[in-house]
Amino acid sequence: MALTLRSSTSFLSPVDPVSKLLHKAGAEDAPPCCVAVPATSPPSRRLRLLRAGAAAAPLEAERAPAEAELLHGGGAQQQHGRPQGGVPVYVMLPLDTVGPGGQLGRARAVAASLMALRGAGVEGVMVDVWWGVVERDGPGRYDWEAYAELVRMVERAGLRLQAVMSFHQCGGNVGDSCNIPLPQWVLDEMSSNPDIVYTDRSGRRNPEYISLGCDTMPVLKGRTPIQVYSDYMRSFRDRFQDYLGNVIAEIQVGMGPCGELRYPSYPEANGTWRFPGIGEFQCYDKYMRASLQAAAIEAGHEEWGRGGPHDAGEYKQLPEETGFFRREGTWNTEYGRFFLQWYSGMLLEHGDRVMAAAESVFRGTGATLSAKVAGIHWHYRTRSHAAELTAGYYNTRHSDGYAPIARMLAKRGAVLNFTCMEMKDEQQPAHASCSPELLVQQVKDTAAAAGVELAGENALERYDDAAFSQVVATARGAGLSAFTYLRMNKKLFDGDNWREFVSFVRAMADGGSRPALPRCDTGHSDLYVGFLDAAKERKAAPEAEGAGAAVAVL
């Protein structure tokens, strides 16, 4: 599919005079759709100005106090008085924007797509800065050139960048459209010492991310994982110091699978897990077992350190099918509380170590730090919250699993980035006991209480009005610092999808309302999409206004 940018007066030339990026795409490109842009593009800083000048407004109650108390032993509604107003929207770039070999793919398509996003009022884009790409040639050998090209391209487009320090592999999870493993030299270390990766009760190893159990062990060619992450971030800072705080607005620090602070408890690879399974605890590598044993001895119960819960079930099971997670299960016993406190505590310590390293590296650069927390909404309406427990969030009827994380991020001056903000309870299957809305509400309240900024993402690809309206409603009550949309691809630029997205960006800028855009606006007073289907394409193309440049869409 190709993207055709049309305007009565070009908005491309003042930003990027390098016309070779805007030439017509080659024969390999697919048939075009048409995106119309206004004669004058809205200023890219408008969103921050709106947010800064907006008045405070009360938080809307989104769950009944009685229901909140039932699920979490309290949590009555509070009005936090957080700033209300426009929320800047970022868009995630494709996972393989920089490929495994360190090359920037489809540069002309990326350039034109960035221009279209700028015309829509988007604040910026997000990109994964893959460890497996940058340090692929050996320890301490960094290749930033493709990312440098991308940063310059973002700057020319008048956008900003959220750079994700992606210390995980791509492939094997929801939405993964390519495979980018960890650096080969790290995989070699895994082969010689398999215990440096997460391991489940059956002995299955997961190579998505280095086990947090060996954070402080020199298991990577004489360096600890924390040292490796620190060196990587320091090299990034040195290479892009002139862009940090202006073009590069945010550094999101990856701390687990999918870049999220969690254990890889629900891997989809090879059919290991299937929604809405409870997942499994990941505490069986020798480093995690040694930590558990030491904690059990300290607690005066040496027998508790021999392994994880024996009755916790398997990946695809439901809570009531297990002894540990069922309504009156082991999770709510003295042993269960000990284990869950240790397991979640290890995750929290890992997050603090990595964020401390990031804070040290990026302090004074002007770039915002952030970390992503997973929106695990299935089995949320049960007492044990099984799926959250196996992921490392000690969030049950009696315990708030997100408060310690929020306090840790507040201490490090980082933003808490939370997912699943597009989801509604009514859209979920009944047997999964889901409640994304109550989960988001809990995290919103927890972030406010901890004094940490909250940002959001959608968990799944959505282009419909219901999803966008849900995000707008959530943003209106949460005082989000930013929202990052998943993701830029061909579908986003398709007719009605683009119309809905542009309307969504405007609603976020305006602080909540979602006026519909006209389907046809020949006066160019609004952004709109004229969709050209196969039957009408030949007839419609000559009638389009202004000159346009066609480029390949991702």
Annotated binding site for substrate: 128, 168, 176, 372, 377, 419, 458-459, 487
**The length of the chain, given as a count of residues:** 554
CB of 517 within 8 A of CB of 527? yes
Longest dimension (CA), the chain: 81
Query: Which one from 123, 250, 260, 500 is the annotated catalytic residue?
Result: 260
Q: Which residues are annotated as a binding site?
A: 128, 168, 176, 372, 377, 419, 458-459, 487
| Per annotation, catalytic residue among 189, 280, 457, 500 | 457
Q: What is each CA distance from 220 to 122, 184, 192, 196, 316, in whole angstroms?
A: 40, 12, 11, 9, 33
Of the candidates 526, 535, 530, 533, the one whose C-alpha atom is nearest the C-alpha of residue 548 is 530
Instruction: Write the CB contacts of 291 (distance below 8 Å, at least 6 apart in sequence).
Output: 213, 342, 346
DSSP lists the bridge partners of residue 425 as none
C-alpha–C-alpha distance, residues 112 and 494, integer Å: 15
User: What is the C-alpha to C-alpha distance for residues 194 and 171, in angstroms, rounded to an integer?
Assistant: 19
Q: What is the identity of the amino acid at 496?
A: D
Are the C-beta atoms of 41 and 49 separated by less than 8 Å? no
Strands (DSSP E) found in 374-447: 414-418
Amino acid at 172: G
Task: Specify whether the CB–CB gap between 113 and 124 falls below 8 A.
Answer: no
Q: Which pair of structure tokens corresponds to residue 300? A: 């005066």
Task: Based on the residue annotation, tell me whether 437 is a catalytic residue of this protein.
Answer: no
What does the CA dihedral 539, 545, 547, 550 come to, rounded to 10 degrees?
-50
**The 3-state secondary structure of 366-389, one letter per residue:** CCEEEEEECCCCCCCCCCCCHHHH
Tokens 């405007």 sit at which residue? 506
38/525 Cα distance (integer angstroms)? 7
* Burial of residue 132, with CB atoms counted within 10 A of its CB: 0-12 exposed, 13-18 middle, 19 or more buried: buried
How far is Cα 371 from Cα 359, in angstroms, rounded to an integer? 12
Q: Where does residue 84 rank: exposed (0-12), middle (13-18), buried (19+ CB within 10 A)? A: buried
Active site residue 500: no
Minimal CA–CA distance to 486: which of 519, 448, 458?
A: 458
Cα–Cα distance for residue pair 25/508, rounded to 1 Å:
33
Neighbouring CB atoms inside 10 A of 541's CB total 13
Q: Phi, psi (5° rounding) for residue 202? A: -85, -5
- The 8-class DSSP code of residue 253 comes to E
Contacts of 511 (CB under 8 A, 6+ apart): 50, 54, 84, 85, 86, 87, 476
Active site residues per annotation:
260, 457
